[in-house]
C-alpha cells in the first residue's frame, strides 16, 4: 500500500471498536496493519447489523484495510510469535487493562523494545481507580456527562447516537500515534507509551457545556418543549433544524416564513431575549415551518445565508449530490460494488484510501509468520 504512513508496521491486539478504529485510520493512511485475533475472531465480528451471508457489517467496516493473524495470546508459544512480530513493528495498539498485559508479559516495560510506540486505547485509562473497569459507548456517555445534555428535559438522559466515543477515541489515538512517530523521527530509537482513555476523550470534547458549568455556573439543560434553538422541528416531509443564534438569521428566517412582525420586532435581535420568550413565538413559527418541504426550505434559507439543515434519512444521505461530487462514497475492490463512507478528509499528495473490507480470521497468519522468520 502507499500513503503517508506506508513505512510503518502496526500490530493491533485491541478488541474494542475504539482500538479497531484507530488502526483502521492508520491503515487508511497507508500503514501496514496486522490485526492479531484470537481463534474466535475479533469481537466486532459478532456485532450486528449482519449482511445476508451472516457476516457483521460493523466488522467489515471497522476491520478493513489490514491483515489478520490468528494467535491465542494465553498460550506461551503464541505470545512468543507476537513478540517476534513486535521486534519488527513500529506501533502496538492494545485495549487490554494493566493486569491482562502483565499476565501475558506484554507490558511496555516487559517488551524491552525502546523504539516501539505502544498505544493503549482503553475505556478509562491505564492508571487510576477505574483502570481495570470495563466499559462501552453507553457507560462512557454517562460518565463523561454527555448523556446529561441529550434528550428531552422531561425524559431520561440519552447517550449520543451510534458509537461516537469509539470513533472519536480511535481518531485521537491515531493522531497521537502519528505524533509519537514524528517525535521518533527526530529522536531515533525513542519510542513511548500513549495512554488514550475514552472517558477523557469525551470529557475533553464536552465543550462548551463543561466550560459553561465550570466558569459561568450554568448547567446546560436538555431540550424543552418546542425549543427552536435546541433541535429539529417538524416540517411537511420530515424534520428541519433552524438555527436562530444571530439577529440576521432570525430576521431573514421570519420574513421567509411570512412573519414580518417578528422579523421587525427589535426585541428579538437579542439571542437571550429570544431564548427567554420562545413560548411567545414558538407556536407561530412551527405552524409556518410545517407548510414547507425540508429541501425547499433549506434552499431558500441558504440563499439568505441562514444556517439551517434538513434532517436526512440514511437513504437520502446516500444520494446527497454534494457528497457524490466530492467522491465521499467509496467503492471497495472485490466487494460486489459495495459503497462505504469514505475518508473524512482529503490530502492531495497522500490521500486516505479504503482498499478492502475485513479479512477472514487468520487469513494472513502463514504469510506474516513467514515474514518474521525471514
Q: What is the mean pLDDT of residues 243-271?
A: 92
Distance set, CA 88 to CA 7, 75, 116, 257, 327 (Å)? 12, 21, 9, 64, 36
Distance set, CA 147 to CA 137, 169, 206, 224 (Å)? 11, 17, 11, 15
The predicted structure's pLDDT at residue 227: 63
pLDDT digits (tens, 9 = 90+) for 11-39: 999 999 999 999 999 999 999 999 999 99
**Domains of the chain: which residue ranges?**
9-206+344-373, 233-310
Averaged pLDDT score across all residues of the chain: 90
| CATH fourth-level superfamily of 9-206+344-373 | Crotonobetainyl-coa:carnitine coa-transferase; domain 1 (3.40.50.10540)
- How would CATH label the architecture of 233-310? 2-Layer Sandwich (3.30)
Asked if pLDDT for residue 175 goes beyond 90, the answer is yes
| Sheet of strand 238-242: strand arrangement | 233-235, 238-242, 308-310
pLDDT band at 333 (very low <50, low <70, confident <90, very high): low
- Which 3 state secondary structure label does DSSP give 161? coil
Asked if pLDDT for residue 220 goes beyond 70, the answer is no
pLDDT band at 139 (very low <50, low <70, confident <90, very high): very high
pLDDT digits (tens, 9 = 90+) for 61-94: 899 899 999 999 999 999 999 999 999 999 999 9
Q: What is the mean pLDDT of residues 353-371?
A: 91
d(CA 303, CA 297): 10
Question: Which residues are bridge partners to 197 per DSSP?
Answer: 122
- Which 3 state secondary structure label does DSSP give 31? coil
The predicted structure's pLDDT at residue 117: 98
The predicted structure's pLDDT at residue 162: 84
pLDDT band at 216 (very low <50, low <70, confident <90, very high): low
Distance set, CA 72 to CA 38, 234, 328, 354 (Å)? 5, 53, 38, 28
The predicted structure's pLDDT at residue 32: 96
Q: What is the mean pLDDT of residues 137-166?
A: 86
Spell out where 46-186 has E strands. 67-70, 91-94, 117-122
Percent of the chain with pLDDT over 90: 65
pLDDT band at 336 (very low <50, low <70, confident <90, very high): low
pLDDT band at 193 (very low <50, low <70, confident <90, very high): very high
Asked if pLDDT for residue 1 goes beyond 60, the answer is no
The predicted structure's pLDDT at residue 99: 97
Grid cell of 119 as nine digits: 498505544
Asked if pLDDT for residue 226 goes beyond 60, the answer is no
Distance set, CA 115 to CA 86, 92, 190, 191, 267 (Å)? 11, 11, 5, 4, 63
Amino acid at each position: 500500500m502507499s500513503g503517508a504512513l506506508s513505512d510503518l508496521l502496526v500490530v493491533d491486539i485491541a478488541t474494542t471498536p475504539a482500538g479497531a478504529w484507530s488502526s483502521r485510520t492508520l491503515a487508511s493512511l497507508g500503514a501496514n496493519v496486522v490485526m492479531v485475533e484470537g481463534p474466535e475472531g475479533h469481537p466486532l465480528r459478532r456485532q450486528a447489523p449482519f449482511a445476508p451471508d451472516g457476516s457483521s457489517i460493523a466488522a467489515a467496516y471497522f476491520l478493513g484495510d489490514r491483515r489478520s493473524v490468528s494467535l491465542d495470546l494465553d498460550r506461551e508459544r503464541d505470545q512468543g510469535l507476537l513478540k517476534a512480530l513486535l521486534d519488527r513493528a513500529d506501533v502496538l495498539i492494545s485495549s487490554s487493562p494493566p493486569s491482562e498485559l502483565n499476565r501475558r508479559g506484554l507490558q511496555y516495560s516487559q517488551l524491552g523494545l525502546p523504539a516501539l510506540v505502544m498505544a493503549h486505547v482503553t475505556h478509562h485509562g491505564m492508571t487510576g481507580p477505574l483502570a481495570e473497569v470495563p466499559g462501552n459507548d453507553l457507560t462512557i456517555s454517562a460518565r463523561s456527562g454527555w448523556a446529561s445534555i441529550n434528550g428531552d428535559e422531561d425524559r431520561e438522559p440519552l447517550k449520543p447516537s451510534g458509537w461516537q466515543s469509539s470513533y472519536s477515541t480511535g481518531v485521537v489515538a491515531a493522531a497521537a500515534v502519528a505524533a509519537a512517530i514524528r517525535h521518533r523521527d527526530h529522536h531515533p530509537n525513542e519510542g513511548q507509551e500513549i495512554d488514550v482513555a475514552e472517558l477523557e476523550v469525551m470529557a475533553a470534547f464536552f465543550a462548551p457545556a463543561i466550560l459553561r458549568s465550570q466558569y459561568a455556573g450554568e448547567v446546560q439543560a436538555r431540550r424543552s418543549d418546542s425549543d427552536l434553538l435546541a433541535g429539529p422541528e417538524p416540517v411537511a416531509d420530515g424534520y428541519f433544524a433552524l438555527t436562530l443564534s444571530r439577529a440576521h438569521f432570525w430576521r431573514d428566517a421570519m420574513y421567509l416564513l411570512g412573519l414580518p412582525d417578528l422579523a421587525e420586532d427589535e426585541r428579538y435581535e437579542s439571542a437571550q431575549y429570544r431564548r427567554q420568550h420562545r413560548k411567545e413565538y414558538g407556536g407561530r413559527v412551527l405552524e409556518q415551518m410545517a407548510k414547507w418541504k425540508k429541501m425547499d426550505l433549506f434552499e431558500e434559507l441558504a440563499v439568505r445565508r441562514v444556517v439551517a439543515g434538513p434532517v436526512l434519512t440514511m437513504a437520502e444521505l446516500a444520494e446527497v449530490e454534494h457528497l457524490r461530487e466530492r467522491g465521499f462514497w467509496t467503492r471497495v475492490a472485490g466487494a460486489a460494488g459495495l459503497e462505504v463512507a469514505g475518508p473524512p478528509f482529503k490530502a492531495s499528495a497522500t490521500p486516505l484510501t479504503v482498499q478492502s473490507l475485513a479479512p477472514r480470521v487468520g487469513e494472513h497468519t502463514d504469510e506474516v509468520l513467514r515474514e518474521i522468520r525471514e
